[in-house]
């Protein structure tokens, strides 16, 4: 008959309860780590450009310390073409005044930072500052680029 059982020639019977010895696997599975790193890379690539104000302005150098705060300030920018921006939106001064008054009515304690290209005239900067102050804002700051220590024209480091 063809229905016979073939037994293994190995010792121990070869049945259902035979013991096999497996060597532990010493390889590290890096696939999950690579997946996590790629997701983080994509997240940082998307969010990093959003954290910067998009109007290109060549800021003057300063040795003053950075100002910190809890909330996100409004940023008014003046570029080298004498254009005025609130965030990344271009405004004429009368439109800017109306927009700032609307924002002030909603958030009266909002901070406002002014970024001005170093090539613009001082009078233009004062004109924009006047519009911001006339809109009701009292927390106003001027932004500049941090000066590198040891370069000519920069203030010496305080000890």
Mean pLDDT of 91-117: 90
CATH no. for residue 108?
A: 3.30.420.270
Residue 119 covered by a domain: yes
DSSP letters of the chain? Answer: ---PPPPPSSTT--STT-----PPP-----HHHHHHHHHHHHHHHHHTGGGS--S---PPEE-PPPP--SSPPEEEEE-TTS-EEETTEEE-HHHHHHHHHHHHHH-TT--EEEEE-TTS-HHHHHHHHHHHHHTT---EEEE-EEPPTTSTTSPPPP-
Residue 66 covered by a domain: yes
Confidence of residue 157 (pLDDT cuts 50, 70, 90): very low
When divided into structural domains, the chain yields a total of 1
Q: What's the token pair of residue 134?
A: 């006339």
**24 to 19, 21, 28, 96: CA distances (angstroms):** 15, 10, 12, 70
pLDDT of residue 138: 85
pTM of the model: 0.52
Residue 48 covered by a domain: no
Residue 25 covered by a domain: no
Domain that holds residue 93: 56-146
pLDDT of residue 142: 82
> Tens digits of per-residue pLDDT, 81-100?
889 999 889 999 899 999 99
């Amino acid at each position: 008959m063809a229905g016979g059982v073939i037994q293994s020639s190995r010792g121990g019977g070869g049945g259902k309860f035979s013991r096999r010895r497996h060597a532990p696997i010493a390889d590290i599975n890096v696939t999950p780590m690579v997946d996590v790193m790629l997701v983080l890379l994509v997240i940082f690539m998307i969010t990093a450009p959003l954290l910067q104000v998009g109007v290109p302005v060549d800021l003057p150098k300063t040795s003053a310390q950075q100002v910190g705060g809890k909330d996100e300030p409004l940023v008014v920018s003046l570029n080298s073409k004498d254009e005025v921006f609130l965030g990344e939106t271009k405004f004429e001064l009368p439109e800017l005044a109306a927009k700032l008054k609307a924002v002030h009515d909603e958030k009266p304690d909002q901070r406002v930072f002014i970024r001005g290209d170093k090539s613009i005239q001082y009078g233009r900067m004062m004109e924009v500052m006047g519009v911001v102050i006339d809109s009701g804002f009292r927390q106003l700051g001027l932004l500049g680029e941090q000066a590198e220590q040891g370069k000519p024209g920069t203030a010496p480091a305080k000890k």
